[in-house]
Structure 1
Amino acid sequence: MPSKPLGPPPSPFADQLRQAQHSAVHLEMRDWYAVDAEKGPFADWRAGVRYDPADRASWWRPWLDLVAEAVGRGVAIRRARIVSEPVSEYIHYEHSGTFTNVAAGEQVRWLPRRQASDISLPGNDFWLFDGRLVRWNHFAGDGASGGPEVTEDPHMARLCASAFEAVWERAIPHEQYEIR
């Protein structure tokens, strides 16, 4: 059953997170993303730049303010990443900076793709807000953003909730996941 967009265009992500009351879960399933906002930081990382956890001012950014604000309101934010091993260079980059997400209050886990073979997964990455609003993240083959799509279809929300919880149950907490 195709999802039904809520209208043109979806509201900005920040608004959706600000409206969340209880939970926001994010499932990432790609080994490579080429979203514009990350091109510079990824290039810097490739050149050897690393965040210093002790120098918070150097890595704190507006996204983390948004997360910390939501968590401060009691919204549980969980992110799960399904990754191929050995991991891609991009996933290695994501892993190295994930401590910033955790510092803002996100819970993050990693699941090796081989351990996800028997989990029914939707075809796209998504955010699920309060178990009812799904924000699909579409990507082109090269990792560029294809734009979001939003639905409140209960069937889609249940599919995403079930997939996320199955992944979360098996996934390894960020602090314990070792890059392979």
Structure 2
Amino acid sequence: MAAAFEDLFRSARLTAVHLEMRDGYGRDADFEEWNSGHRFDPAERWHSWFDLMVQTTIRGVEVRRARIVSEPISDYIRFEYDVTSGHNVKSGEQVRWLPRRQASDLALPGNDYWLFDGETVLFNHFAGDGTMTGEELVTDARTVALCTEAFEAVWQRAIPHEDFRPA
């Protein structure tokens, strides 16, 4: 995990929210292992993320993640769903899922992003195969407002992780 990315969490005072809109990301060794049937403890495997989220949420920063997903869900999204309880939720994140068909009338940015304290957006850029190609830090008020409104609209409609049953 890059130090600058970690610093955004360490400096967050109130909120860190993440909107994910892709049906697949880089098929790394963890995904391939899971896809072959091996289940692992995400808190042990990804301890640096787990520790950062625990440190962030224990300071009172609300961390929320919303995922817009196609149905039936892809193998990659099934992987994310499977590890969310032991990884994201266990570390203090709140996670919700929104079936893509319920997002058709929402104005959404073109890229996944993190939004910190409603002031700073970190866009995540991906290649077609889901590998990350870069990040873009933006503080422009209009862009921040778009991302804030988009996230809250998705969050209002989305289903809490514990209630979501993927198709």
Unaligned runs of 5+ in 1: 1-9
Find the partner of 1:67 among 33, 49, 53.
Answer: 53
Which residue number in structure 1 is paired with residue 150 of structure 2?
163
Find the partner of 1:24 among 12, 16, 19.
Answer: 16
Provide the C-alpha distance between the structure 2 equivalents of 1:147 and 1:19, rounded to a whole number of angstroms: 21
Provide the C-alpha distance between the structure 1 equivalents of 2:99 and 2:45, rounded to a whole number of angstroms: 27
Provide the C-alpha distance between the structure 2 equivalents of 1:52 and 1:42, rounded to a whole number of angstroms: 13
Is the aligned partner of 1:81 residue 2:67? yes
One-letter amino acid of the counterpart of residue 36, structure 2 = A
Provide the C-alpha distance between the structure 1 equivalents of 2:116 and 2:126, rounded to a whole number of angstroms: 20
User: Matched residue of 1:16: which SS?
Assistant: helix
**Correspondences of 1:107-122 after superposition (within 5 Å):** 107-122=94-109
Which residue number in structure 2 is paired with residue 49 of structure 1?
38
Unaligned runs of 5+ in 2: none
One-letter amino acid of the counterpart of residue 47, structure 2 = R
Is the aligned partner of 1:148 residue 2:135? yes
1:3-31: CA deviation from partner (whole Å, max 9, x where unpaired): xxxxxxx9721111111010000000000
1:94-136: CA deviation from partner (whole Å, max 9, x where unpaired): 0000012101000000000000000000000000000000000
One-letter amino acid of the counterpart of residue 97, structure 1 = V
Pairwise CA RMSD: 1.6
User: Matched residue of 2:90: which SS?
Assistant: helix
One-letter amino acid of the counterpart of residue 43, structure 1 = E
Which residue number in structure 2 is paired with residue 7 of structure 1?
none
4+ long deviations beyond 3 Å: none
- Rg: which structure is higher? 1
Q: Structure 2 vs 1, CA of residues 61 and 11 (structure 1 numbering), >3 Å: closer, same or farther?
A: closer
Provide the C-alpha distance between the structure 2 equivalents of 1:157 and 1:144, rounded to a whole number of angstroms: 25
Is the aligned partner of 1:102 residue 2:89? yes
- Normalising by structure 2, what TM-score? 0.94
One-letter amino acid of the counterpart of residue 70, structure 1 = T
Which residue number in structure 2 is paired with residue 13 of structure 1?
5
Which residue number in structure 2 is paired with residue 5 of structure 1?
none
Aligned residues: 165
One-letter amino acid of the counterpart of residue 49, structure 1 = H
One-letter amino acid of the counterpart of residue 61, structure 2 = V
Superposed displacement of residue 51, structure 1 = 3.1
One-letter amino acid of the counterpart of residue 120, structure 1 = A
Superposed displacement of residue 61, structure 1 = 1.0
